[in-house]
Structure 1
Amino acid sequence: MSIKQVLESTKHLNSSERAMLAHCLISSLDSTQDQGVEEAWGKLAEKRFQQLESGEVKGVSWSEIKKDTRGE
């Protein structure tokens, strides 16, 4: 099957299905993964969650982030 045929056959997919297909294709390019990367991300996420729960850090809303990046 040619690339053109593959692209044609995906036109009937909705946007979520096309996004999933794109994700799968991109993921298939990276065949190697650093040892322990999943565990490291999990530990970081847990640490950040605990910091938020304890009040050590305060969350920032998306609208505040957008404002800051625009220099408002």
Structure 2
Amino acid sequence: MPDKMKWILENIKTLSSHEKATLAHCLISSLDDANEKHVDEAWIQVAESRFAQLDSGAVKPVSWEEIKLKLNREL
């Protein structure tokens, strides 16, 4: 394992949850390939479609708390 990676793994426990989340986001984002632009465009279309459904009232929003409760009941 490269020294840089060892250092990161040894020091990650000193980061806050927010810092870890930011780091995870940055690492995942760095995997994106410029050739995958069509994937980004597809996600934008999905997001815009879902927003339009919410905005028009065609679907009702569900809070994260409601989702967690439902998951806990199902497990």
**TM-score class normalised by the smaller sequence:** 0.5 to 0.7
Counterpart pick for 2:38 among 36, 40, 52 = 36
2-structure distance, mates of 1:33, 1:17 = 29
**CA 1:13–1:27: 2 relative to 1, 3 Å:** same
Q: Mind listing any 5+ residue stretches in structure 1 that lack a counterpart?
A: none
What is the one-letter code of the residue matched to 2:51?
Answer: F
Aligned pairs, number: 71
TM normalised by structure 1 equals 0.62
What is the one-letter code of the residue matched to 1:63?
Answer: E
- Name which one, 1 or 2, has greater alpha-carbon Rg: 1
1-structure distance, mates of 2:70, 2:15 = 37
Is residue 51 of structure 1 aligned with residue 53 of structure 2? yes
**CA 1:24–1:64: 2 relative to 1, 3 Å:** closer
Q: Mind listing any 5+ residue stretches in structure 2 that lack a counterpart?
A: none
Q: Percent identity?
A: 55
TM normalised by structure 2 equals 0.60
Deviation (angstroms), 1:63: 1.4
**CA 1:18–1:62: 2 relative to 1, 3 Å:** closer
CA RMSD of aligned residues (A): 2.8
